[in-house]
Structure 1
Amino acid sequence: MPAADRAAADRLLARAAVGSGVHLSLSVYETARLVRLAPWVWGHHARIDYLMALQRRDGTWGGPDLYALVPTLSATEALLHLACARDRSPIRAERRTDAADLLAAAADRGLGASRRLLGRASRPRPRTLGADLLVPYLVNEINKTLRPCAATDTLESLPRRLGRHAVLPSPHQGRERGAAKGAVPSSSSTQGLPFLAGHFWEDSGGPARETAAASPVDGMIGSSPAATAAWLARGPADERDGRCVGALDGVARVHGGPVPSLWPVTGYEQVKLVATLVRAGLGAAVPPSLRERLRWQATGGTDEAPREVTGDCGVVSTALYALAELGELGGRCPVEVLRRFETATHFQRWPGDPVCSPVANAHVLEAFGAHAAARPGHRPRHAPVISKITRWLCGRQQLSGRWEDPGHASPYYATSHISVALSRFGCRGASSAVARAAWWVRATQRPDGSWGVWRGTAEETAYALQTLLAAPHQISQDLLARGAAALQRLAAAGTGHPPLWHGKDLYAPAAVIDAAILAVTCRLRRYFPLTSRAYSLSPIHVEHSGSDCTEPLVGP
């Protein structure tokens, strides 16, 4: 193995072993909730500056298309509240009236953008986590602020500007989504998931307020800064939980004021990163501390809530797969822990979860398949599960050949993970499904050799190349060469990774993405003389800019 590969893997593993979780992209949604609910947390001025700087010319924040809805509503509500408040000193301006004008102008543009986004009645809601809960909550908060704001006479210019909007229209509830084969349902439901409810504690009518599930873990409610801020805002200032105050202050200081969408996500990052490197044959350097973390994720949980909101069946099965490949299974059959997620047809992310995740099932397939390979005596016991998951995954493939997953905006992510799992561990019918996926990837390559739903990205190009390399038939060398060149060019550009992962808004776990790029580059090195320029650790991609949002080549 080239020294550059080993060195890159060592750097990624060393970063994961620290467990800081600092390499997550920042969140407009969560940052705006702290502006609104916790102005006493360190970095309040910086958070306002962050929101003001990232508003696009059309008044929106966040990702492309309807992915802008939740962050735009959140930022608009926070700035509108400041604009209508009598004390506008938090924003940096030469005079108080300047602050009011800046806030009112930003809120005005945000209200117009929110109305346009909400007016798309024929379009489905964004697929980000909790959108069906957060959109009505934010609209209600905006309208509660807007009504008295329009009637105030504190500043004459302010009511004239904001009074035009009256109130925002109530969002439609329960809109039916398409029932086409392979369609991905909304990832926002928390029905049957009481331990997930704490992640949405800021929703004043949400399920967390009706249960005792929300309680601090490492000073955070539901691994969410926004939920933690709302939980602290429920009582007097002198009764705030010191652990939560310290946790919010700490995450704000790490990022200079703005905050990411999830905190902490240490276990999730570590498991995904290690498993990705193990698939590429780079697992030999995994240190004992990370191996112990894998064992904890695989067997240290209980039938109740995992330690982190992202610690679902996919995380547990990924840890089990990595342990099997590393020869760390021990003397018993640890994959049996996955049985609590099993249904008659597939595996759920959590017991009772109404949303199906093809990627989580691909990880389950890898876990059972790797365990059966390591323990031949257990193959008869695991063969029915492997066959069942293979049939379910093949049945979820869309006619185009791709797969989609509720955890990611790009179909290249799901298509890559499922193709890799099926190509190695799938039963009858798996090879033809992987071949169809490879043909879809081939057909959607961009003219510059890259892949991406909105524009070519290093992350999606890596996923596309992994799919091609998993195909059972020989792939054109020219196709791989163009893709490899595009991957190296994009990865070496040093611009970070655009957010494509589904939290409450889109986010990007840079370390996990860097591992995926490194893994496919190691495999491509067998075909092409690639340099090591692509191995620098990626910076955090702060937010989509207006120029990033182009018409999608393939719909997410």
Structure 2
Amino acid sequence: MTAGGAPHRTGLVDVAAEASEIVAELVAHPGGRSSPSVYETGRLVSLAPRLAGHARRVRFLLAAQRPDGGWGLPDDGYALVPTLSATEALLSVLVPLHAGPGSVAGVPEVPPGVPRAELLKAVDEALRLVSERLLPAFGTQAPGGGAGVPDMPAIEHITPYLVELINRRLAALRVRPPSGLESWQEAEPLRPPAGMAGELLPMIRELLDRSAPVPVKLLHALEVAGGSAVAARSVRPEPSGTVGASPAATAAWLGDGGSGGGSGLGRANAAVRGSARRYLEATVARFGGPVPVAAPITEFERGWVLSWLARAGVPVTVPAWLLEEMSASLGSSGTGGGSGLPPDADSSSGILYALSLLGRPHPPDLLWNYETPTHMCTWQGENGRSITTNAHVLEAFGHYAESTRRGGPRHDATLAKVAGWLCDQQDVDGAWRDRWHASPYYATACVTPALTRFGGAAAGGGTARAVERAVRWVLDTQQPDGSWGRWDGTPEETAYALHVLLLGPPLAPEARPAVARGAGFLRSAIAAQKIGLSAPVMVKDNNLPLWHDKDTYYPITIVRAATLAALHLAQISPAFT
């Protein structure tokens, strides 16, 4: 199946050849490709020290530490979860725990090749940051999108879980502090931020202890249940071996240091334990130790990659069997991002839109499972709301109706409802911001093309006004080197800005220099480093991990597709005529 026309060249980039490579990546890596996660890697250091790659995981955490002692993006809100995870993980290498929830028996040993002095220095700096600045900074804030705290999945459970574990390590320090950490022997217990006291953690653990099921969406963060997660009878790994598409959750369920020899009343049978262990070993093998925050992300990646390319008209040939697998993934409630994740409106919309763009339209009616009185939720019971989920729903319904002419009154009502809601959510500066990405350029690049093509006259003509404001915001925020970015300019965010300019209303003559400068920045970035084909992405690189999960991450193939699509649009735009 082919979308687009003849191949084009954009500077140093052969668009058709790059598109073929991207599709080949989808085929060669069906589980998806994303950067290693500080949070998730830290959990494996603590939960599974006997799993292959332990020393490399410790070295990864040491290398990723910021000069101020923390981890994560250059914002304290984004530093909270990765810093707590890395701090507890490095403490686990130095400080043994007595038996208890989430602990690993035995005296820890500094792994070979890890300098003890460097490890002690990293822990001291991290504890100082956490106790003196990081946690106190959020003492009056609310979780889940409150001021200064990003709206990250399960942050209200993960934060108190990590504080609890660090406090247990600090308590152990009072008994027998390692040489070099004596100054922390009398440290006071850390206090979690207001609104993150962990009231639900005992309830989750109690449910698991009596073999009662927990909400499916909590499986992705099963590690917060501590010792109650080990071989929990009400939790069954997927056939692939994963629990909740999460290495940390799988390691927590497997227990016993990740060796698969869990004990207790909830002991799983050997075959299931072996499957979970093989999943962890395969996930670890990707980077030789560090792990991503979610694996697999099959449907999520396929939907985003192919819709980015096809929407921009990039010449792309997709194997028929791949399209058939995408269609088959859509059950009565749609699909999740990958095996182990529950169905959601966002992943489902991405698959539906990609299929429709590639000539395999599938009715989007299943998305009505996620309808609320005002908008579409990502899943029922969602805490918060997602701008980009609704933009993707708008595209799924809009393109299906446009390509098949099989819409109807309810389809039309859904389009009007979602478009009107999106217009109402625009920020005063003209951008949109969303819970699934740290950068407003991503959300604005999702909404602007959707409203431009499928928004109609939502909100009494509000669509055109909203789009115009978004375009003006993008033009006003370009950096001197031609890039765009929330912090520093990045190739990813620059690609999103170009999507706004080139998939919105007709390009105004005064906007053409901005497009040319942005495309030049992207061409230079690709010439220096082929996007998505580099070593594990770190914050120190120019590819920030901006996507939201338990930690921020960088979906390599998805961003590569978005970048290629932006270059293709720029090359065929009036800016280059």
- Is TM > 0.5 for Structure 1 vs Structure 2? yes
Letter in 2 for 1:512: I
Q: Which shifted more, 516-525 or 321-330?
A: 321-330
Query: Secondary structure of 1:74's partner?
Result: helix
Partner of 2:553: 507
Letter in 2 for 1:468: L
Partner of 1:45: 55
Partner of 1:354: 383
Partner of 1:536: none
Letter in 1 for 2:557: A
Q: 1:229 and 1:471, CA in 2 relative to 1: closer, same or farther beyond 3 A?
A: same
Q: TM-score of the superposition, structure 2-length normalised?
A: 0.81
Query: Secondary structure of 2:280's partner?
Result: helix
1:30 matches 2:40 = yes
Query: Secondary structure of 2:223's partner?
Result: coil
Query: Secondary structure of 2:224's partner?
Result: coil
Q: 1:166 and 1:51, CA in 2 relative to 1: closer, same or farther beyond 3 A?
A: same
Q: Kindly provide the CA deviation profile for residues 236-280 of structure 1, in whole angstroms up to 9, marking residues without a partner as x.
A: 953461111111111112211111111111221111111111101
Partner of 2:515: 480
Partner of 1:384: 413
1:219 matches 2:251 = no
**Alpha-carbon distance in structure 1 between the residues aligned to 2:456 and 2:274:** 53
C-alpha displacement at 1:145, in angstroms? 1.3
Gaps of 5+ in 1: 176-191, 531-556
Letter in 2 for 1:146: L
C-alpha displacement at 1:326, in angstroms? 2.1
Partner of 2:165: 141
Partner of 1:62: 72
Query: Secondary structure of 1:238's partner?
Result: coil
1:112 matches 2:92 = no
Match runs of 1:283-322 below 5 Å? 284-299=316-331, 307-309=339-341, 311-322=343-354
Match runs of 1:59-208 below 5 Å? 59-65=69-75, 66-85=77-96, 87-92=107-112, 99=116, 101-115=117-131, 116-120=133-137, 121-122=139-140, 123-152=147-176, 155=178, 157-163=179-185, 165-173=187-195, 194-204=215-225
Paired residues of 2:236 and 2:243 also in contact (CA < 8 A): yes
C-alpha displacement at 1:215, in angstroms? 2.4
**Alpha-carbon distance in structure 1 between the residues aligned to 2:63 and 2:569:** 41
**Alpha-carbon distance in structure 2 between the residues aligned to 1:207 and 1:242:** 20
Paired residues of 2:16 and 2:315 also in contact (CA < 8 A): no
From 300, 304, 328, give the equivalent of 1:268: 300
**Alpha-carbon distance in structure 2 between the residues aligned to 1:93 and 1:9:** 40
1:491 matches 2:562 = no
Partner of 1:282: 314
Match runs of 1:415-426 below 5 Å? 415-426=444-455
Q: 1:312 and 1:213, CA in 2 relative to 1: closer, same or farther beyond 3 A?
A: farther
Letter in 2 for 1:238: G
Q: 1:271 and 1:311, CA in 2 relative to 1: closer, same or farther beyond 3 A?
A: farther
Q: 1:213 and 1:265, CA in 2 relative to 1: closer, same or farther beyond 3 A?
A: farther
Letter in 2 for 1:391: G
Paired residues of 2:255 and 2:261 also in contact (CA < 8 A): no
Q: Kindly provide the CA deviation profile for residues 110-153 of structure 1, in whole angstroms up to 9, marking residues without a partner as x.
A: 11111211111355323322211111110110001111212326
Gaps of 5+ in 2: 1-5, 9-13, 97-105, 141-146, 198-212, 263-269, 530-540
Match runs of 1:521-536 below 5 Å? 521-527=567-573
C-alpha displacement at 1:302, in angstroms? 6.5
Q: Which shifted more, 44-53 or 101-110?
A: 101-110
Partner of 1:229: 251
**Alpha-carbon distance in structure 2 between the residues aligned to 1:414 and 1:213:** 37
1:14 matches 2:24 = yes
Letter in 2 for 1:221: V
Paired residues of 1:275 and 1:318 also in contact (CA < 8 A): yes
Partner of 1:2: 7
Q: Which shifted more, 206-215 or 312-321?
A: 206-215
Letter in 1 for 2:440: P
1:460 matches 2:477 = no
**Alpha-carbon distance in structure 2 between the residues aligned to 1:213 and 1:415:** 41
C-alpha displacement at 1:355, in angstroms? 2.0
**Alpha-carbon distance in structure 2 between the residues aligned to 1:81 and 1:9:** 44
**Alpha-carbon distance in structure 2 between the residues aligned to 1:141 and 1:486:** 44
Q: 1:25 and 1:215, CA in 2 relative to 1: closer, same or farther beyond 3 A?
A: same
Q: Which shifted more, 163-172 or 382-391?
A: 163-172
**Alpha-carbon distance in structure 1 between the residues aligned to 2:426 and 2:388:** 12
C-alpha displacement at 1:528, in angstroms? 7.2
C-alpha displacement at 1:212, in angstroms? 7.0
Partner of 1:363: 392
Partner of 2:276: 244
C-alpha displacement at 1:20, in angstroms? 3.9
**Alpha-carbon distance in structure 2 between the residues aligned to 1:490 and 1:481:** 14
1:337 matches 2:337 = no
**Alpha-carbon distance in structure 2 between the residues aligned to 1:365 and 1:73:** 38
From 469, 484, 506, give the equivalent of 1:436: 469
Q: Which shifted more, 261-270 or 454-463?
A: 261-270
**Alpha-carbon distance in structure 2 between the residues aligned to 1:213 and 1:112:** 39
C-alpha displacement at 1:194, in angstroms? 1.7
Q: 1:328 and 1:266, CA in 2 relative to 1: closer, same or farther beyond 3 A?
A: same
Q: 1:529 and 1:474, CA in 2 relative to 1: closer, same or farther beyond 3 A?
A: closer
Q: 1:193 and 1:344, CA in 2 relative to 1: closer, same or farther beyond 3 A?
A: farther
**Alpha-carbon distance in structure 1 between the residues aligned to 2:306 and 2:231:** 38
Partner of 1:324: 356
Would you say how many aligned residue pairs link Structure 1 and Structure 2? 506
Q: 1:206 and 1:398, CA in 2 relative to 1: closer, same or farther beyond 3 A?
A: farther
**Alpha-carbon distance in structure 2 between the residues aligned to 1:452 and 1:134:** 28
C-alpha displacement at 1:354, in angstroms? 2.7
Letter in 2 for 1:201: L
Q: 1:526 and 1:161, CA in 2 relative to 1: closer, same or farther beyond 3 A?
A: same
Aligned-residue RMSD, C-alpha: 2.9
Q: Which shifted more, 266-275 or 505-514?
A: 266-275
From 388, 392, 398, give the equivalent of 2:427: 398
Q: 1:306 and 1:448, CA in 2 relative to 1: closer, same or farther beyond 3 A?
A: closer
Q: 1:377 and 1:500, CA in 2 relative to 1: closer, same or farther beyond 3 A?
A: closer
C-alpha displacement at 1:34, in angstroms? 0.7
C-alpha displacement at 1:500, in angstroms? 0.3
**Alpha-carbon distance in structure 2 between the residues aligned to 1:193 and 1:343:** 24
